[in-house]
Structure 1
Amino acid sequence: MCGLRLLCVCALVLVPGFVLAQESGDLGVPAGEAETALESPVDPETYVLGPGDGLFISLTGSITDMYWGSVTLQGRLYLKTPVSRVTIGEASNLRIPVYKTIDRIQVSGMTLANAEKKANEVASKYFKDVQVSLGLARFRRCKVFVVGDVFKPGVVGATPVTRASEVLKRAELQGTASRASIELLRGGDVHSIINLYSFELTGDASANPFVMDGDIIMVPAMKKRVTVRGAVYGSGVYSLRISALTAEQTRTSEGIYELEAGDKATEIVRKAGGVAPWADLRNSYVKRRTGAESKAIKIGVDLEKVLVEGDTLADVLMEDGDILVIPSVEDVVYVEGAVNAPGAILYQPELGALSYIGLAGGPTDRASMGRVKVRRPNGDIISANGNPEIRRGDAVIVPEVTLRWWQDYLTIGTAVTSVVIAWLTIAR
């Protein structure tokens, strides 16, 4: 009698929660379970069961019932049938089923579909017309071990629908950690190679597998690397540049990125998050050290031709240790030399060199207009003859004449005459 009362009390406590769960569409899932975001419905043909998975077991046919079950720590699932019902309260019509275990099934390591087939095989030994359906209702928690170049090595909690990238995000990759050749070990063997670049840039899900209980993720250091510096949305250190004329802020960053075989400048730019709107694509370049003395050379790479015009021949194959520099577009044009108001002038499109000389107050009387040069931001120097169109960041250089015909000759003659007269006076 005491046992029946205890059963009734337990039922009064549990049944309201069970009913509420039915109304919320989460039948029988224990309260407090955190929801797991899914990227797609669980595939019964591929989902592998393990200890802790929660299931709905549905019986149809001569017996119709549904109950909550979970895979035990030994990897078993208990198959049950209702044998009676208990009424709660004398005036209540609420009746809860009492179950009897008819068999247990070893399901750990089986896919959900195969476990359902096994459950039906077992049920057929006891009933002729009962069908068993298994529905996954709760994911088990599993441990994944992360080692190598991470800030937080050790155990990371996950579920069977957690991807490797989510685990690595919690472990926090170091700046020198590889993102393209991370090993996922399962059962002591390399199960797959994790390539975060491939997943993030192309959406290749095979490069970012789901994790399983006991997986070990080994994060090595980069074998080859390049540095990207300048106007990119990088993950490295960044600073803000403020325009002297407009007070506009632009971000420049510097970071280290892994070099994979065949990577060109455009692949590295994508790894660095892409170029910023203020990037000076035309004047980008690669700094490379070559030879036994590691002499630095500069290789121009016109990213505007590659990224905007689609000229793949203008791309540059990167090498280990290269530095890709993407300067910021200057909002000004510099006019230097023999002008009345030298300095920075706010850039205006479609103006030539002569126009900027005029905006700088015009040439002085000593300006050599036939020898005006234009210096591009990448260091190239061109003649201003023909009044070329000026780009952002250009410098217009107006040199002075060495001698200005009669004025300079008169000045020199006067000075020489003064010296001769003084000498003759002293000689007397």
Structure 2
Amino acid sequence: MVRRSICVLLVVTMLVTPTLALAQPVPSSQEPRAPAIPTPQTPQVPPQAPPVDFPVRAPGGVPTAPRPDPCGLVGQQRVQSPEYRLGSGDLLDVQIAGRLDVTRQQVVVDPEGMLTIPPIGSIAVAGITLRETNRRVAERARALLRYAEVSISVQQPRCFEVVLSGEVERPGSLQSSALRRVHDVLLAAGGITPRGSLRRVVVSREGSSVELDLLRFELTGDLADNPLVEEGMRIHVPPRGGSVTLTGAFRRPGEYEIGADGGLRSLLQLTGGVAQAAAAGQARLTRVQPDGRKETLSVDLARALAPPADVPLRPGDVLFVPQLTVLQDVVEVRGAFNGTAESSRTVTAGKPTIVQRFELAQGDRVKDVVGRAGGTAAYADLRLALVERVGAAGPRQRIPIDLHRLLVEKDDTPNIVLENGDVLSLPVAEDKVYVLGEVRNPGGIDFRPDLTPREYVALAGGPTVRARFKNATVTYRNGRSYLLAQAPPLEPGAVVTVPEVSVRWYQDYVTIATTISSLITAYTGLFVLFGGRVNTGDD
């Protein structure tokens, strides 16, 4: 038993001793060193793109945030559109999948516009779309290989030079990728100066040119006015043309350059038109005349812009459309007033007249509005002024206003209180007396206070044979009529009417019979006078 225990102890000792020996550290000839203190590592900051040394402004001078050069990020761009047109310098990713293996390679379109893909060969791809390129390469691959699926994508679009000129902040040449559009290239060049035109940008290439309206693109997003740039393209921004100002109840009020057609309808379609609460029928167009005088015209936009009608615009025009709430209390004056600088001018009977609307304050009377309209003109017929008023329920009323009594005689009886929507009309004083009806020369005759109605008829050539002069009448401008013999002294604008003699139905036949009878009598007398013979000249 003791022998067995000693043997087990020896075996265990032999097994444990090598393990402990291996666990001991190997003595080193070098002196021990203190453990190194780890130094903190600063996080690595990815390199940033160099800052742009000019502020980028949108076309028209609107500042925007700086943007990198269009070609600075082309390595990170990947074309997805199958309508992208290839050109020299495009880097393509070509993948051909067979039955057992897949071949993938990157190929650059060479300067001749050829795409060389081993083992397919060279294919002309310049100017064609990415979809068409896939189709051509697939046809060539299937002609050589029994089974092949081709997939081509643009890994990196080409970069080329575009020339900018005219009213651009940084004119000259600019590197651009084929993915950029005209608007982006102008932004990268600093934008269009305030003096430049946003609606007549000229883009030319290979002898052909087209005019772009970048304002239309900005407001509507129409890419037809913002095409992709192409190699060899030149972009010219001409000086800004004439502009008009839209104020009041418009969806986009402001100053706009006049378009190529020069009409108001296209401008309103572009800017969104008038606001919902606009009084389009009460618009006012202020226009500067060649002599520097401003003239304001009343415009009903609904009627003036009904197709095919349009309102031609001139540089400096200002179109104002009030809101409906502003027009709750207005009065309109028409006729022989002196007017103000904002009055719309017309001509009536050879004399200048005005049409203008005024805001109506509570309690305003006729005399107040006449003063705002610049007073009455020297050729105004003060006694025949009137106020047209639309009642709440009923026809339009015509209220006579004797301004001579109000302004000259200082009688305030005609000075009535005006209401919203009233129209104050003041006619031009007539300086003629009109003689009409059965006279030899009907028409107007210059007024002379010393002439009687009969003398005016005589100046008109006198009555004709069919005139019934005793029934002639005189009608005055106030609407009253008198027989010629009972008429008071004439005044300008009076009308003298000479009626025609009333003829019964049988009197014309009697006249015809009398004429025929006279002819028969004359012929019979000649027959008897010559003894019943007719001289033929043979005797």
Q: Which is bigger in relative contact order (C-alpha 8 A, separation at least 6)?
A: 1
TM over 0.5, shorter chain: no
Higher-Rg member (1/2)? 2
What TM-score bracket applies, with the shorter chain setting the length?
A: 0.3 to 0.5
